[in-house]
Each structure stands twice: as structure tokens, then as C-alpha cells.
Amino acid sequence: MPLNEIALDSRHLGTTEKLIVYTPEQYSPLYSYSVLYVQDGEGYLAMFRHGALLDELIRQKEVPELLCVFLPIETERRMARYHPDGAEHLAYRRFLAEEVVHYMDAHYATHPLGSARTLVGASLGAVVSLFTALAYPHTFGQVASQSMAMDAELNRRVSDTDISVPLFLYMEVGTEERAVETKRGLLDLYSANEALRDILQQKMVTLVYETFAGDHAMSHWQANLPRMLKAVYG
């Protein structure tokens, strides 16, 4: 599981950001690779063992060889960067779409098409993934969402967005996520995700929608990672 830690100076955020880049064991610059961009990157890497899972799925030929960028974030900055009303949200979206993608395309053998770039996230990380893809439809063509922390207002914004470029979206939510405690109060994420599914079915979106028996917990997201990755790349 080759991992490379990179310090990237961001003019949009005004900070130096850490990227952790996964390359497959047989990586070669002679080929071109799809790229996963993962929010809450250190959590997915350490707690979800995402890198080891990719190794195994690639070895079993259940997903193709691909690159993965794990994007760490400090807990106290999640609302500011991940929520659409957050003070750093627009700058963070620009950082992802312009600076991180540019770095990867310049330093690794990547596919140049938006359909080869997937944004991944859970909860608020899924929210910023979706809204970044909607803002940069030619840059990111796929989103993989676990228990997206949506509400009626955010769903309204998606409903009002004209999606004129094809988007692939994997969504999953727990059937018990009906009163999830957040900094925005209690949210019924199950109903919000069901409503978002209905909105997106009326738009230019290829949608895979799954539910699982459980609540808003990392253990479910970890268990469902193989299903998610195979739905995106299978």
C-alpha cells in the first residue's frame, strides 16, 4: 500500500494542506488512472483501512487500479469547510477543484476526464462532495456518499441547480438515521436522503441508492466501503 504524504500550499485557503496519495502496487506512469478524492481522509485511511481495502479489491480484480487522495481535516474546521454556508466552504471547493486536481494531474498519470474523478465523503463530507461536484461538473463526474448530512434547505438548493452535465451518484443511508445529533440540531437524514433521491431522479444523474439497517455510525460506513467502491467502479 504505497502512500505519499504531500504538503500543498493553497492560495485559496491561505494554508498549507496535507494530502496523502495512495498508488496501487503496480502503478506505472505509462498508464492513466481514475482518482478518488476522499474527505475526512485520515479517518477513512486509519479507521476504515481504506488503503488496505483498495489493495485487496484491486488484487481480486473487483475494482480497477486507481489512485486515491486522502484529504485530512481538523475537526473544528469541518463545518466551516464542508457546509455550504461555512466561512471557508467556497474556498475549500476551489482548493479541491483547482489546486488538488491540478497537483494530481501534474504529478501522476491520471485520466483527464471528469468521469474519472470521484469525490467521496460521509455525513458532512458527503455534503461538500456533492456541492463541489455540482459547482465543478466538468471536473468531478462522480460522487460516492455515505449518510449525507442533508436537510430541507440543502435539498432545495440541489433542486434549484441545473445539472446539464451527466453525474454519477452513489448514495447510502441508514434506516435508523431519523434523529441524528448534529451542530445544526437533530436531523432526519433518512428522510432527507430519500427526498434528495427523488429530486435527483428528475435530473441528469445516474443514481445508485442503497439503505442499510443501522444508524449514523462509522462502523456501518466501513462495512459498506466494498459495496460503495464496487458500485462506483464495478
Rounded CA gap, 188 and 186, in Å? 7
The model carries a pTM of 0.98
What local confidence, expressed as pLDDT, does residue 48 receive? 86
Beta 205-212 vs 142-146: how paired, if at all?
A: unpaired
Total count of domains within the chain: 1
The answer to whether residues 140 and 125 touch, using CB atoms and an 8 Å cutoff, is no
- Per-residue HEC secondary structure of 27-49 comes to CCCCCCEEEEEECCHHHHHHCCC
Report residue 82 as a C-alpha cell: 464542508
| β-pairing verdict for 3-10 and 15-22 | antiparallel
Q: Which helix (H) or strand (E) holds 118?
A: strand 117-122
Residue 234 is predicted with a pLDDT of 81
Helices 218-233 and 50-59: crossing angle in degrees, nearest 10, is 40
The pLDDT of residue 26: 95
pLDDT of residue 150: 98
What residue numbers bound the domain in which 226 lies? 3-233
Q: In whole angstroms, what is the distance from residue 110 CA to residue 101 CA?
A: 10
pLDDT by residue (tens digit) across 26-83? 999 999 999 999 999 999 999 889 999 999 999 999 999 999 999 999 999 999 999 9
pLDDT of residue 130: 99
Which regions in the chain score pLDDT beneath 70? none
Q: How many residues does the chain have?
A: 234
Average per-residue pLDDT for the chain = 97
The packing angle between helices 152-159 and 124-135, to 10°, is: 20
Nine cell digits for residue 151: 436537510
| Angle, CA 232 vertex, CA 27 and CA 18 arms, to 5° | 55
Which runs of consecutive H residues, i.e. helices, occur in the chain? 41-46, 50-59, 78-82, 89-94, 101-107, 124-135, 152-159, 189-200, 218-233
Helix (H/G/I), strand (E/B), else coil: 132: helix
**Domain of 99: which CATH number?**
3.40.50.1820
